[in-house]
Structure 1
């Protein structure tokens, strides 16, 4: 049992070191990504104004053009700061939950120590009967039984995504999932806001409601027509005619949809960071397998010891 505990402690230390590696890698990656997203936003806006809707841009006054460009630059700068801040939120989340995890681990260690002490006691048969009575009065609830059974099983991937994290490796997995979700959402939000700006300045025609533009920035890439230029999409919509008739016709809308894959492809500085993240994820997967293997070995050893401690001859 002591050997298994030492191996689990070593794995915990390795997981802590891995979390620090993720932190350092994501810091560099998000710093570069923020710059790239800002640059790609300006470039996509330029193509929308000069190639997508050049007549609409020319119809603007010089002052309106400058206001639009200033708003787009401000949005790019805000995004450049917002992406690295996701890591700060991730770090705060880790710090806030580390104490809870340590407390859970301490409770587990205390329970293990109590079990070891009970197993070392050499009592006569009367004391064994008393001990059995005490144990019956402190039998674990059905919920605790379920936890014990779950500890003996290999966790399913679906359960890991929906259940509350139980240990450091699951917490690290959840933090990373939330961080990547935050990156995706930030890029989507930037696309939505940039389309709003273009719509507000009448670059994208007013006949397209903002709800359509927001949906365009979030729709899956497979459901839309990708334009020749990166981070730009084309959507065919049915609209009513401009004349006295109510005949509808298909109209093409061109809008911005920033894609992480295209942003990473456009800037080679992001490639080493993403490759490093993939390497760390593979390392985390290996640590996870080893961690659960040792946890199962510990559960089996505890069950065997508990069986021997409660067994007595008639």
Structure 2
């Protein structure tokens, strides 16, 4: 029985080596992917804002002064730059990839409702990081022995919106890359960080557009969030320009609280699927991640099987060690 346990231990050790190699490959693949995604986000944010200003609300855009138009463009460029930096910071370097800090205090770079878009300085760098959602994931149910604390980290990100996600997740750690359950949690958390970063930049871009009265100031944000979530969950390609949300909402009349009007609103809504679809290099990087996750799924299942075999062998040995035939 001892030999059987030794053999199982050797198999587990080999599996852990293979899983650690997968972790290294996955980290490298995500570093490449997030770098490309950051570039694509900057481009797609500018393109979506261009369509919104020129096709959605051309009259309102033309009503702006030349200086307001210029500063709006600068604000959008700045938001795209910040999003790209934060995406890359998730797995930025060998020293930081196991503890990516989310600075709770650096909220000053959001476009605040009390500020004028004219005052935005393109040279300022923001430090907003939010979590993502709906990427390629290995189903957590495949690994029933997941550590509770690790599962809680993903649940926290699931529960966090783009406003409070930073206060819920302070670090993204991968302390044992040979542990498939921990690697799974790390990968899922990274995907959620990515998705929430897209939600945050969309939210801030819409806020910038509201400040110059291109978008209505009375947009019920929960409605936009629900519509954006439904749009993201849909596998279908949305009609019209990409990364824009078209929704009809009810806006109350400020003069008469009992009266309201239905208004069609176009808003920025960066969708990961549409961003990837428009960029061949980014799509290729996503396929590489997907292929690596397929390998992780197989190794993780083998690891769970061997752990189960070892538990059974240990239980059998423990039983026989104290059994008395009288």
**TM-score (norm: length of structure 1):** 0.73
Distance 1:91 1:269, change over 3 A: same
CA contact (8 A) 1:235 1:254 kept: yes
Q: Which residue of 1 aligns with 2:202?
A: 191
CA contact (8 A) 1:191 1:258 kept: yes
1:44 partnered with 2:48: yes
What SS is found at the alignment partner of 1:261?
Answer: helix
Q: 2:300 is matched with which residue: 288, 292, 305? A: 288
Q: 1:200 is matched with which residue: 204, 208, 211? A: 211
Q: Distance in 2 between matches of 1:245 and 1:34?
A: 43
How many aligned positions are there?
A: 255
1:308 partnered with 2:293: no
Structure 2 portions without partners, runs of 5+:
101-139, 151-175
Distance 1:219 1:160, change over 3 A: farther
Higher-Rg structure is 1
Q: 1:81 is matched with which residue: 76, 82, 85? A: 85
CA contact (8 A) 1:194 1:256 kept: yes
Q: Distance in 2 between matches of 1:159 and 1:252?
A: 46
CA contact (8 A) 2:232 2:271 kept: no
* Bigger share in helix: 1
What SS is found at the alignment partner of 2:14?
Answer: helix
Q: Structure 1 residue 271: deviation in Å?
A: 1.4
1:27 partnered with 2:31: yes
1:20-69 deviation per Cα after TM superposition (whole angstroms, max 9, x unaligned): 00011111111100000110000000111111101111111111111111
1:163 partnered with 2:173: no
1:277 partnered with 2:281: no
Q: Which residue of 2 aligns with 1:107?
A: none
- 1:158-237 counterparts in 2 under 5 A? 163-165=148-150, 168-208=179-219, 211=221, 215=225, 218-221=228-231, 226-237=238-249
CA contact (8 A) 2:143 2:301 kept: no
Q: Distance in 1 between matches of 2:288 and 2:91?
A: 16
Q: Structure 1 residue 233: deviation in Å?
A: 1.1
Q: Structure 1 residue 276: deviation in Å?
A: 0.9
CA contact (8 A) 1:90 1:175 kept: no
Q: Which residue of 2 aligns with 1:298?
A: 310
Q: Which residue of 1 aligns with 2:163?
A: none
- 1:46-61 counterparts in 2 under 5 A? 46-61=50-65
1:149-200 deviation per Cα after TM superposition (whole angstroms, max 9, x unaligned): xxxxxx9459567833598110000000000000110011111010000011
Q: Which residue of 2 aligns with 1:131?
A: none
CA contact (8 A) 1:217 1:257 kept: no
- 1:139-154 counterparts in 2 under 5 A? none
What SS is found at the alignment partner of 1:306?
Answer: helix
Distance 1:238 1:10, change over 3 A: same
Q: Of the two structures, which has the highest relative contact order with CA contacts closer than 8 Å and spacing of 6 or more?
A: 1
Structure 1 portions without partners, runs of 5+:
97-154
Q: Distance in 1 between matches of 2:288 and 2:272?
A: 16
**TM-score (norm: length of structure 2):** 0.70
1:15 partnered with 2:19: yes
Q: Distance in 2 between matches of 1:223 and 1:287?
A: 29
